[in-house]
Structure 1
């Protein structure tokens, strides 16, 4: 299926529950292994095609580093065609995590409405190398289409959920993380920003995804 056919069929795929199939086909049409969308510079993962894409976003969220959480980038897409060469100094922990997942190249497009950036579309490859000009342009078309989908979504719609869900749907993948941050904020008497930093630090020290650490904190709450 061509990329144009996929974009035309986006709403039908979402309405029919074929989120994962659409996302996987879209990634392949772009010459990528997988794609994911995060809002607010990595603050919430809402769309992903496969487990590796989700774990890459988890790594960026836990570590607070990586191309997808950079506040600004001038080139669109922001290309990291060889993580071993291009990211080892700037994002050493993220580069190591990505390589452990078998990822060697990462590409980021802004998900935006006009001049307002809503988040980022991140794609990966298992081999190093840059995108072609056509792939770069096609990725921006996908990012724009997903921006429209995200703008159309509202909490409370039947298609939305709260918590980790199936790939491709608009889910609040890190809802538990935000809940655990609130718990730590109250427990430690610190602002939410500091509580988030401490949660990330605990997850990193334990060598776990921040979502796993958050669930453990929530399990400790009295029922």
Structure 2
């Protein structure tokens, strides 16, 4: 599938709730192993093609470091072409390599000069993008920006699973809930509560969502 065909099918994917299938096709069209889309500086993962993509975003969010959080996009997409070569994000690089990821690429999801999210792709082999892949990724990111800016909150009526918000799935609802619980229990600001939740997840080597669920299970029924 070409990138243009992919973009032509974006509206259909949103209406039919086929986000993950569309993301898989997007990754293939861009020559990537997988992709993920996050907003609010990585605080909310909204679309992803596969578990590795989701885990990469979780690693950045838990560690507070990674190309999606601090990349400079003035020269185009951020290209981390070989994670084994070291760099600015050693803890993230170690987590990514443990997942079998050797290269990571990030495009800004933005409206004008305002960036409110990222499109992140990975490969299991090192190497840069072609000029066309870099340009096509920006086209996809721009299309997603328009779609994400148009979402309207909604829910699927289920007490479990991801919260539904129109064009996006809120995969970290439990993390935000657990952050609120810690803030109330400890009498600390939400920002500090989130830092403590991240630290607990990192110290135990568990996914952030699992750590959040553990805290929520402690609540009285």
TM range (shorter): over 0.9
In structure 2, the partner of 1:108 is: 106
Per-residue deviation at 1:171? 1.1
Once the two structures are superposed, the pairs formed by residues 79-98 of structure 1 within 5 Å of their partners are: 79-85=79-85, 88-98=86-96
Q: Is the 8 A contact 1:41 1:69 kept in 2?
A: yes
Higher relative contact order (Cα pairs below 8 Å, separated by 6+ residues) = 1
CA RMSD of aligned residues (A): 1.8
Cα displacement string for residues 74-115 of structure 1 (whole angstroms, at most 9, x for unaligned residues): 332011011111xx3421111111011110000000001111
Q: Is the 8 A contact 1:163 1:176 kept in 2?
A: no
Q: TM-score, normalised by structure 1?
A: 0.92
Q: Is the 8 A contact 2:71 2:78 kept in 1?
A: no
Question: Structure 1 CA distance, aligned partners of 2:160 and 2:110?
Answer: 23
Question: Structure 2 CA distance, aligned partners of 1:196 and 1:54?
Answer: 19
Structure 2 residue runs without a partner (length 5+): none
SS at 1:127 equivalent: coil
Q: Is the 8 A contact 2:78 2:106 kept in 1?
A: yes
Q: Is the 8 A contact 2:72 2:78 kept in 1?
A: no
Q: Is the 8 A contact 1:163 1:171 kept in 2?
A: no
Per-residue deviation at 1:59? 0.7
SS at 1:171 equivalent: strand
In structure 2, the partner of 1:64 is: 64
In structure 2, the partner of 1:126 is: 124
SS at 1:208 equivalent: coil
Q: Is the 8 A contact 1:77 1:107 kept in 2?
A: yes
Structure 1 residue runs without a partner (length 5+): none
Q: Is the 8 A contact 2:44 2:170 kept in 1?
A: yes
Question: Structure 2 CA distance, aligned partners of 1:40 and 1:216?
Answer: 24
In structure 2, the partner of 1:40 is: 40
| Count of residues in Structure 1 that have an aligned counterpart in Structure 2 | 217
